[in-house]
Structure 1
């Protein structure tokens, strides 16, 4: 099956200070959303395998957008989500967000060993969604527990699905709750452990 892409969105934020303290390196976040026609309306479909297979194209598209926005190795965290229009089922978004979808995204940003935090829901256009984010290589890096809140003013329409991936160049500014650090994860990776 081929997915019918209706619209794409990109949102970027750059945070330069927190609590009056300037960041040594600004935190960049990027959200990429692709809105597709929901092909499974009006009937229960037991096998969503064709959607899972077709989602690879979305992963490649979103990964290419991330590659254009970030230098190699710059992305440290990510998260994904989906909003299904009111005529669909939550499972329709989940079918588009599996590992088949995520692998091209990981490849585009230079890897990612950790699972990708996810949120899906059924909602009307303009509904807020909070996309949870975590470190791309180790979910135990507490400084990277973060997220992005997004509103797509005209999506999803009842017969659409919005697929969203968020990326960040670091953890929260001024993170100080301890735990494993990004640098420790990178040193462990370099040592091959």
Structure 2
């Protein structure tokens, strides 16, 4: 089969991207482990491409199954490491509406992911846009258990070399293993990792 089916979604391509940050921008390490940021994303055919529909159920209804697939891929990419922050995004091809992308990343999609990440209880920051192949997007991150922990406010900039096609949507999720290196702006503390 040249593509993968999850629920009623046709997936053309999966993406995994990882960054390992060793120091801050002025080459100052700190006492913590390196910061790992990991992206899992999928290029999915948009069932509403080129048409308007008041009902977006063809996307929303199976999004929990998509979330389960993302959850398993996130755990595999973490390889036993613990995620402490997360974020999500969508990139909609030119034949779709921004609302189509948002329909993929509701709480219904996110709940199975949150369920496999110990301590995850806060809402997940998100962003999205319309674009074409070669899309770049900055995905925001926040702590999974303490939304106002400033040291975890961050982004991961990701690139999709061949997506989205006009009739596709990229659904993306990012996790990170710690806050920014040498974050020093104060504010609420994140709960101790455990």
Say yes or no: TM over 0.5.
Answer: yes
For this pair of structures, how many residues does the alignment match? 186
- The RMSD of aligned alpha carbons is 1.7
Larger % of helix: which? Answer: 1
1:40 is matched with which residue?
48
2:14 is matched with which residue?
8
Which residue, 177, 181, 189 being the options, matches 2:189?
181
Contact (CA 8 Å) 2:15, 2:42: kept in 1 or not?
A: yes
Contact (CA 8 Å) 1:32, 1:62: kept in 2 or not?
A: yes
Compute the displacement of 1:87 (Å): 0.6
TM-score normalised to the size of structure 2?
A: 0.90
Q: Any unmatched runs of 5+ in structure 1?
A: none
1:159 is matched with which residue?
167
Contact (CA 8 Å) 1:73, 1:110: kept in 2 or not?
A: no
* Offset from partner CA, 1:75-120 (integer Å, 9 cap, x none): 0000000000001000011000000000011112224111111011
* Whole-angstrom CA distance in 1 between matches of 2:39 and 2:160: 11
User: 2:29 aligns to what SS in structure 1?
Assistant: strand
Contact (CA 8 Å) 1:85, 1:122: kept in 2 or not?
A: yes
Compute the displacement of 1:73 (Å): 7.0
TM-score normalised to the size of structure 1?
A: 0.91
Contact (CA 8 Å) 2:47, 2:58: kept in 1 or not?
A: no
Structure 1 segment 1-193 matched on structure 2, within 5 A: 2-18=8-24, 19-24=26-31, 25-70=33-78, 74-182=82-190, 185-186=191-192
Q: Any unmatched runs of 5+ in structure 2?
A: 1-6
Runs of 4+ in 1 over 6 A off after TM superposition: none
2:4 is matched with which residue?
none
User: 1:22 aligns to what SS in structure 2?
Assistant: coil
* Whole-angstrom CA distance in 2 between matches of 1:106 and 1:72: 16
Contact (CA 8 Å) 2:29, 2:181: kept in 1 or not?
A: no
* Whole-angstrom CA distance in 2 between matches of 1:155 and 1:103: 26
